[in-house]
């Protein structure tokens, strides 16, 4: 994503599941970033905490149910 996040990381030890099929992943840390969704007529900005993991994936970020609910987003 082009962000130097290493200096922003705080320690995190809670593993998460469901990203790599059949395996759990332990994050290298967490970072809180300001995220904006929407268009000019309907915009919302919130601080979102991301767990940072070191594995190959097709996605740069995966948003969970709590983030989707906070932004009242409907995934398609």
**76 within domain boundaries:** no
**14 within domain boundaries:** yes
pLDDT of res. 65? 82
Place 2 in a pLDDT band, splitting at 50, 70 and 90: low
Domain interval for residue 55: 6-70
Report the domain count for the chain.
Answer: 1
**75 within domain boundaries:** no
**58 within domain boundaries:** yes
As beta bridge partners, residue 43 has 38
**Which of 60 and 30 is assigned the larger pLDDT?**
30
pTM: predicted TM-score of the whole model, two decimal places: 0.69
**38 within domain boundaries:** yes
User: Where would I find the H helices in the chain?
Assistant: 65-70
Q: Is the pLDDT of residue 27 over 80?
A: yes
- The answer to which of 18-22, 23-27, 62-66 has the lowest mean pLDDT is 18-22
* Separation between Cα atoms, residue 64 and residue 61, nearest integer Å: 10
pLDDT of res. 59? 74
**1 within domain boundaries:** no
**29 within domain boundaries:** yes
**55 within domain boundaries:** yes
């Amino acid at each position: 994503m082009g962000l130097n996040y290493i200096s922003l990381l705080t320690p995190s030890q809670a593993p998460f599941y469901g990203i790599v099929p059949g395996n759990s992943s332990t994050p290298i840390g967490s970072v809180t970033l300001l995220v904006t969704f929407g268009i000019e007529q309907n915009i919302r900005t919130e601080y979102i905490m991301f767990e940072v993991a070191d594995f190959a994936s097709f996605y740069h970020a995966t948003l969970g149910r709590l983030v989707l609910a906070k932004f009242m987003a409907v995934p398609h």
